[in-house]
Chain A
Amino acid sequence: MASPDDLKFQEFEEATDLLLADPGASTLSMSGSSSTALAGATGDIKLDMSDDEGQEESSELLRGEKQTSGFWTFEYYQSFFNVDTMQVLDRVKGSVMPLPGRNFIKHTLQPSPDLYGPFWICVTLVISLAISGNLSTFPNSLGSAHYHYRPQFHRAAVVIFLYAWLVPLGVWGFLTWRQREERQQSGYSFLETVCVYGYSLFIYIPTSVLWILPFEWLRWLLILVAMVISGSVLVLTFWPVVRDDTKVTAFATVATIVVLHALLSIGCKMYFFQTATPTLNHTAAILTNKTH
Chain B
Amino acid sequence: MAEVEETSKLMFAGLSDVSISGDIPVEGEINVPVGTPIQDKEYSTLDEPVKDTILRDLKAVGKKFVHVMYPKKSSALLRDWDLWGPLLLCVTLALMLQGGSVNSKEDGGPQFAEVFVIIWFGSVIITLNSKLLGGTISFFQSLCVLGYCIMPLTVAMVVCRLVLLGGSWRFSFIVRLIVVTASFSWSTFASTAFLADYQPPNRKALVVYPVFLFYFVIGWMILTV
Q: Using CB atoms and an 8 Å cutoff, list the residues of chain A in contact with chain B.
A: 74, 77-78, 80-81, 83-86, 88, 116, 120, 123-124, 127, 131, 134, 143, 145-146, 148-151, 283, 286
How far, in Å, is B99 (CB) from chain A's closest CB?
A: 7
Give Cα A78–Cα B217 distance, bound, in whole angstroms.
27
Bound Cα distance A131, B106 (Å): 17
Q: Which residues of A contact B213 (CB under 8 A)?
A: 120, 123-124, 127
- Residue numbers in B under 8 Å from A81 (CB-CB): 129, 132-134
Q: In angstroms, how far is the closest chain A Cβ from the Cβ of B198?
A: 15
A281 to chain B: closest CB distance in Å?
Answer: 14
Cβ-neighbour of B109 out of A83, A120, A149 (below 8 A): A149
- Rounded to whole Å, the gap between the CB of B6 and the closest CB of chain A is 72
B140 within 8 A of A: no
Give A78 to B136 CA distance when docked, in angstroms: 13
Q: How far is the CA of A120 from the CA of B213 in the complex (A)?
A: 10
Q: Chain A interface mostly helix, strand, loop or mixed?
A: helix
Are A85 and B204 CB-contacts (below 8 A) given A120-B210, A143-B169, A148-B224?
A: yes
A151 to B213, CA, bound (A): 16
Which of B106, B108, B205 meets A283, CB within 8 Å? B106
Q: Looking across the interface, which residue of chain A has its beta carbon closest to that of B134? A: A78
Which residue of the partner chain, among A127, A149, A286, contacts B225 with CB atoms under 8 Å?
A149
Interface string of B197-215 (1 = CB under 8 A from A): 0000011111001100100
Are A131 and B220 CB-contacts (below 8 A) given A78-B132, A81-B133?
yes
Tally inter-chain residue pairs, CB-CB below 8 A: 60
Question: B106's contact among A88, A124, A127, A286, by CB below 8 Å, is which?
Answer: A286
B71 within 8 A of A: no
Asked whether B79 is an interface residue with its Cβ less than 8 Å from the other chain, the reply is no
Interface residues of B in 74-123 (CB under 8 A from A): 99, 105-110
Q: Among the listed B204, B209, B217, which residue makes an inter-chain contact with A120, where contact means beta carbons less than 8 Å apart?
A: B209
How many of B's residues come within 8 Å of A, CB to CB? 28
Taking beta carbons and an 8 Å cutoff, which residues of B are in contact with A? Answer: 99, 105-110, 129, 131-134, 169-170, 202-206, 209-210, 213, 216-217, 220-221, 224-225
A84 and B203 contact, CB distance less than 8 A? yes
User: Does A85 contact B106, Cβ atoms closer than 8 Å?
Assistant: no
- Which residues of chain A are within 8 angstroms of B210 by Cβ–Cβ distance? 120, 123
Query: A residues within 8 A CB of B220?
Result: 131, 151
Which residues on B sit within 8 Å (CB–CB) of A286?
A: 105-106
Closest Cβ of chain B: how far from A145's Cβ, in Å? 5
Residues in chain A near residue B109, CB distance under 8 A: 148-149
A120 CA to B99 CA, complexed, in Å: 29
Question: Contact check: which of A88, A123, A283 meets B206 at CB < 8 Å?
Answer: A88
The answer to whether A145 and B209 have CB atoms under 8 Å apart is: no
A149 and B224: CB pair below 8 A? yes
Max chain A CB contacts within 10 Å: which of B106, B134, B205?
A: B106
| Sample of 11 further A-B pairs with CB below 8 A, known A81-B129, A116-B129 | A78-B132, A83-B203, A86-B202, A116-B133, A120-B209, A146-B106, A146-B107, A148-B99, A148-B106, A148-B107, A283-B106
B110: chain A residues within 8 A (beta carbon): 149
Q: When chains A and B are docked, how far (Å) is the Cα of A286 from the Cα of B105?
A: 9
Given the known A-B contacts A127-B217, A143-B169, A148-B107, are A85 and B134 also in contact in the complex, defined by CB atoms under 8 Å? no
